[in-house]
Amino acid sequence: MTNRERLNSFLLSLFGMKKTINRGHLLLIILIHVAGWCLLFFLPVLLYPVRINDNWFYTREIVDKSILIILFYTNYYLLIPRLFERKKYLAYAGSVLLAFIAYLGSHMALRFNFMGDVGGPLVRIFNPAPGTADTLVSPVVYREFIESGVRKVRFDTNMPFRRKFAEKGVAVMGQSAMPIGVMPDEVMLFGIPKPMVMLSFNRTLSSFVLMLLMGGFIRLAYSFIRNQNEKKALENANLNAEVNFLKSQINPHFLFNTLNSIYAQAHSRSENTEFSILKLSELLRYVLYDSGAEKVELTRDIQYINNYIDLQRLRLSNRIQLDYAVEGNMDGLSIAPMLLISFIENAFKHGISYTQPGSILIHIKTAGQELQLLVHNPLVEKDGFAPGGLGLKNVTRRLALLYPDRHQLDIIRTTDTHIVNLKLDLSNA
């Protein structure tokens, strides 16, 4: 497995898209998740030059953010895959609404039942200017009516305020607030001043929507990657199946032609029959043990062609001239097996006449990582003659599947000549 594949596998495991390898891997994933959440929620507090004097601030924040994290994973691993992805949109919307109501209730319970002490500043903002005193920020105090009278105990402690203050008040979201002290009577909702309820609602809504969007975006990316991987795997499976099917058509065709050649030698009681059988055994060994590979060394494929041509030489009459040449350095080059032989077989199949003279030219040349095959043969009319039959159609299809945008095939047919000129890019082969 390459480093890139390892990185992709780790990222998929990080977002729950792939099972972890072992416990150590799982522990690392958990630690990364914990560190990520801590940075997301608490880094702003650490970066601000402030000190939180509210004793309950961190308790509230940890509990509140823990509930948000639980909601995130519930949405990511449960609601989205089981409801949203199965197109149960109404059930998903209802579940999300219930989750928001539960989170809003927990947020308000935390906010108004675990508050700092009344009196003294809750936030100290450190002034970086030398000789300048730190700024103390008191809570915004609300007045709550109870049966025994009026008491100043209800207030809201927020994340650190912006460093902009009114002369005698606190600036919230860039706007100057009322001077520190008791604010006017407010409309009560559920026993809590309405502005505080609305403030809590806005906070919970924004945080909740953020968690939904984060989970949805990651899950959407996961679904896209999964679909792409499945599509690629299916394409590869179809490609392999089609290539194997084409090979299964090519191999019997070649065997049939070769056996015909040996039969002709045996019929004429040629002394080369044993040599031909030995060559055939080498050819069959290549077909059985090497042709199933995705790529083979080019030198081995050329040797296969050499053996085939040696067999053909034995049965050619003196009237047929064969010009066969191989040029160039082929070390380190690879090619799909039995790709070139179809063009050569076609030349012998349609270019040999036992009554008329003729010539067949086969040149194979390499220059760098480019291979060129030139085949020139006459066309001899035979019973059932069909130039460019099944063999050429198969090899043309294989070229399109295995070397898309990396080959150039020119086939020229005239009334008495057939020419094949193939240029093949073997880089990254």
Contact indicator for 165, 171 with CB cutoff of 8 Å: yes
Residues in a beta bridge with 141: 155, 182
- For the chain, the 3-state helix, strand and coil shares in percent, each to the nearest 5, are 50, 20, 30
Q: Which residues contact 144 (CB under 8 A, 6 or more apart)?
A: 150, 151, 153, 154, 188, 191, 193
Give 420's pLDDT tier (boundaries 50, 70, 90): very high
What local confidence, expressed as pLDDT, does residue 6 receive?
61
Give 333's pLDDT tier (boundaries 50, 70, 90): very high
What local confidence, expressed as pLDDT, does residue 143 receive?
32
Share of the chain above pLDDT 70, in %: 62
What local confidence, expressed as pLDDT, does residue 169 receive?
36
What local confidence, expressed as pLDDT, does residue 121 receive?
43
Give 279's pLDDT tier (boundaries 50, 70, 90): confident
First-to-last C-alpha distance (Å) of the chain: 18
Q: What is the fold of 270-425?
A: Heat Shock Protein 90 (3.30.565)
Distance CA 141, CA 111 (A): 14
What local confidence, expressed as pLDDT, does residue 308 receive?
87
pTM to 2 decimal places = 0.47
Distance CA 25, CA 75 (A): 24
What local confidence, expressed as pLDDT, does residue 374 receive?
96
Q: Where are the alpha helices (DSSP H) in 290-427?
A: 298-315, 341-351, 390-402
The 10s digit of each residue's pLDDT in 107-145 is 877 776 665 444 444 444 444 455 544 444 444 333 333
Give 225's pLDDT tier (boundaries 50, 70, 90): confident
CA within 13 Å, CB half, 281: 5
CA nearest 180: which of 251, 122, 107, 134?
A: 122
Distance CA 237, CA 60 (A): 54
What local confidence, expressed as pLDDT, does residue 160 receive?
38
Distance CA 341, CA 283 (A): 12
Give 357's pLDDT tier (boundaries 50, 70, 90): confident
For residue 261, the tally of other CB atoms under 10 A from its CB is 19
222 token code pair: 């996961």
Give 14's pLDDT tier (boundaries 50, 70, 90): low
**For the chain, what is the mean pLDDT?**
72
What local confidence, expressed as pLDDT, does residue 422 receive?
96
